[in-house]
Each structure stands twice: as structure tokens, then as C-alpha cells.
Amino acid sequence: MLILGSFPSTASLAAQQYYAHPQNQFWRILGDVIGQPLKEIDYPQRIAAVQAAGIAIWDVFASCERAGSLDTAIRAAVPNPLAALRESAPALRRICFNGRMAARRIREVETLGFEALVLPSTSPAHAGMSFAEKLARWRDALRP
């Protein structure tokens, strides 16, 4: 399984870690789903726990221009080569998009033969849905 975000936030780029903004709910939600205290453990342990659960993390964009961290500010985006996943990750079956911006590439992923699901964004900017609702949607999507 692969979780695709759009592009790392300014905080994530500075920390060289996915979902480093302290208010992003990604690690809390994913931790609840896989039964690991991801938010409380250090980053290398987080990544190891996620990998052990059979989950990978990546972004739909390799680079972009953006003032700040909002997805709506992304300009001149260069896509990551999702088609290469067929060869580089032959066991991959399901791709989950973390939010609508990432999901703009859903047709491409479906054309490649992957199951594709759009999940509510874990970003603090997506405050229109409660944590419990987000968690329920993520839990359903990440079931084996």
C-alpha cells in the first residue's frame, strides 16, 4: 500500500521528514490505524513501523513552486513518475491519496491498474472534518 501526499510542507522540508508540522494529524491517524504510537516515537522508528505494516509514503509531485505550505498555492509542479511503480513496486496494490490535491492524479493511478482511494487530508488546513471522521475513513481505506 502507498500513501501519496501532494508535496511536503515548509516544516517537513526543513525537518527532512514527512508530515513534520506539529498540527498535521497524519502520524496520529496512521498510528491509530496500525496500532503504533507513531506520534510519540522518533522519525526513524516511525518509518520502520510504517514499512513493517506494509505501507510506503511518497508524493505526487517531485518539485513545485509554492509560497507557504498550502496545496492551493502549488504552481509549476513536476510530477513524480507514478508509472514506474509498476516495475519498482510489483507487490503494490492500493494507492491512497492524502487529500484532493494529491488525488488529481487518480485517473493515472487507476489506468496503471492500482486500486485508488481518496482520503480526507490530514493537514491542519482541512478542518472541516472531525478527527474521528478522518480516522474512520483512513481506517476503512487502510484495511488489509
Q: Exposure of 112 by Cβ count < 10 A (0-12 exposed, 13-18 middle, 19+ buried)?
A: middle
What is d(CA 49, CA 136) in angstroms, rounded to the nearest whole number?
A: 20
71 touches 6 (CB < 8 A): yes
- List all residues 6 or more positions away from 58 whose beta carbon is below 8 Å from its beta carbon: 2, 3, 4, 5, 80
Catalytic residue (choose from 24, 36, 121, 122): 24
Q: Examine the residue annotation and report whether 98 is marked as an active-site residue of this protein.
A: no
Active-site amino acid positions:
24
